[in-house]
Structure 1
Amino acid sequence: MINFNGNIVEEKQVISINNRGLNYGDALFETIKVSHGKLLFWEAHYFRLMASMRILRMEIPMNFTMEFLQEQILELISYKSLLDSSVRVKLFVNREEGGLYLPDTNNIDYLITVKPIESDFYLLNDATYQVDLFKDYYVSPSLLSTLKTNNKALHVVGSIYAQENKLQNALILNTNKQVVEALNGNLFLVKDQVIKTPPLTDGCLKGIMRKQIIELVKQLPDYRIEEASISPFELQKADELFITNVIVGLQPITQYRKKSFKTEVSKALLQKLNVKIRLAN
């Protein structure tokens, strides 16, 4: 069961062949972790969604408040008897049917899905996690590339490339040959006392967990954060590399080509992240 425009219905009753997200990629989504009825980083998700809808010139309904959408999410979680669990929520917004490239309307439909996940807090995965560069296609930096849209062909092909090469993930480059992000999250690089992450102007996703980690790094007395371009040559010189997203939290990279990495900073940040979540409850 899913929530479609405020109604809990069967999944098969929803998507039309004329859906604009299906036909033109005219859609946005937010992936949200909800733990025991608590929407983690909900304010950041909400404001990113509102900003993204404005950029795509979608009409924001008057009732699309933080409180309304939270109620809609929790209603579906409750219906599926998952209020005492941790779940992955996908909030999907697309322009209503009608038109070709030029839409007939800027009004929107919304759809919410829920799937249970195992862990309430973020756990460190210290298993082998090997990555390499995906260089078949490149991100073209722009405001659109920072949005969480369903235009993810590059990430799909990149994921197949990673699987074929027995990698756990791959790193994406932009058209300036700078490292932008991983296939499923933002990238951070640790070298000496500096922790770097690519700036939004390089084309990376405006990640919710990226923002949280930037704030947490500022609490580490021995490190400073830099939003600066990362060249492929820097990867093998790094002390640590890690990936962030709202579902896994923080994923250390253990190997890039022949270089192996430490995980001390990753562990410290993950502890601070879990403390922040507990204090927010």
Structure 2
Amino acid sequence: MINYNGNFIDQSNTDLINRGFLFGDSIFDTLKIVNNNILFWEEHYLRLMSSIRILRMDIPDMFTPEFFEKEILKTNLKIENFFSGRVRLSIFRSGGGLYSPESSLPVYVIQSKKFDEKTFKINDKPFKVDLFKEYFIQPNLLSNIKTNNKILNVIGSIYANENELDNCILLNDKRNVTEFLNGNIFIVNEKKIKTPLLSSGCLNGIMRKKIIELIKTKSNLEIEEIVISPFELMSSDEIWLTNSISGIVAVSDYRKKKFSNEIAKEFVRFLNIEIENI
């Protein structure tokens, strides 16, 4: 029997108490959809399968790219025929048990939300950020994947709201720059663009990977995956937040410094050219 906020529910009739809810025994991915097309789907799918293996779940034979594409499309068609928006694909371990699971088979949940923004656009509003130093990321293989254990990001988001910030930069246990609350971080300094190493504890982001590819193939700029000290932020020309939904968000203010977004604009243009062929 379950007492859910004062209401009694028969546990045998609900999936409310699942392993994702109880133990964070789950992963998720966030996908941008444009006219029923999943942007960068191959990269997202490969990361999902890799994450399932890292959590030591079995991968059913039916979990093919085509299977999930069809399931996502079926879900989106419930909203409209030519869907554009965001999809959250969550996968958690089925069955019961305590810390030791009774099953290694995964279950999936697809959530769709419509929005009309079909291209990436540079933000024209101020985007103010600062460091979040109350808690720190512990770098390991689990910090590189999107698990449901995001309490640090939640508390950091509350801190941002309390301090009239648009986002916060997270640090790892060595007090080095790791990522934003909801995306990877890039800093631009003259002809060089830097982003933290995966070993720093940052998410192995799909947009991070795309931006690195574009820097190497579409520009004369140099990319460095490197350890970044917070002191380097003040000396940079631009700071970017990157994720699969927004593409690139350019920071306008960090502490007392104002930042430009000219190079960010150019890479947003590169991204839009990239998705024209998807």
TM over 0.5: yes
Name the counterpart of 2:100. 102
**C-alpha distance in structure 1 between counterparts of 2:122 and 2:247, whole Å:** 9
Structure 1 residue 15: deviation in Å? 6.2
**1: CA distance, partners of 2:68 / 2:261:** 37
1:68 aligns to 2:63 (yes or no): no
CA distance in 2: counterparts of 1:43 and 1:221, whole angstroms: 24
Q: How many residues align?
A: 266
Aligned to 1:10: none
Among 185, 188, 209, the residue aligned to 1:187: 185
Aligned match of 1:227: 225
Gaps in structure 2 of 5+ consecutive residues: 1-12
Report SS of the residue matched to 1:236. helix
Contact 1:131–1:167 (CA<8 Å) still a contact in 2? yes
Q: What letter corresponds to residue 189 of structure 2 in structure 1?
A: K
Deviations 1:165-190 (A, max 9, x none): 00000000000100000000000000
Query: For residue 155 of structure 2, what is the amino acid of its counterpart?
Result: V
Which residue does the alignment assign to 2:46? 47
Query: 1:195 is matched by which residue type in structure 2?
Result: I
- Give the C-alpha shift of residue 220 in structure 1: 4.0
1:209 and 1:17 map into 2 onto residues whose CA distance is 32
Equivalent residue, structure 2, for 1:262? 260
- 2:214 match: secondary structure: helix
Partner Cα separation in structure 2 for residue 86 and residue 17 of structure 1: 29
Residues 197-248 of structure 1, C-alpha deviations (whole Å, 9 max, x = no match): 1010000000010001001111344311111111000000000000000111
Letter in 2 for 1:105: S
Contact 2:144–2:203 (Cα < 8 Å) also in 1 = yes
> What amino acid is aligned across from residue 138 of structure 2 in structure 1?
S
Q: Distance in 2 between matches of 1:108 and 1:136?
A: 34
Q: Report if aligned partners of 2:186, 2:193 keep a CA contact under 8 Å in 1.
A: yes
Aligned equivalents of 1:177, 1:118: Cα separation in 2? 39
Find the counterpart in structure 1 of residue 136 from structure 2.
138
1:26 aligns with 2:25: yes
Q: Which residue of structure 1 aligns with residue 3 of structure 2?
A: none
- 1:86 to 2:84 alignment: yes
Partner of 1:164: 162
The TM-score with structure 2 as length reference comes to 0.94
**How far, CA to CA, are the matches of 1:85 and 1:74 in structure 2?**
9
Q: Judge conservation of contact 1:18–1:98 (CA < 8 Å) in 2.
A: no
Which of the numbers 240, 243, 249 marks the counterpart of 2:241? Answer: 243
8 Å Cα contact 1:85/1:120 also seen in 2: no
Once the two structures are TM-superposed, the CA of residue 86 in structure 1 deviates from its matched residue by 1.2
Deviates more, 1:45-54 or 1:121-130: 121-130
Q: Matched residue of 1:219: which SS?
A: helix
Q: Percent identity?
A: 47
Q: What secondary structure does 2:76 align onto?
A: helix
Residues 24-69 of structure 1 show CA distances to partners (whole Å, capped at 9, x for unaligned) of 0000001000100111000000000000000000111110000111
Name segments (4+ residues, structure 1) moved above 2 Å.
Answer: 14-18, 219-222
Give the Å deviation of 1:275: 0.3
Task: For 1:215 and 1:242, locate their aligned partners in 2 and report how far apart those are by CA, in whole Å.
Answer: 16
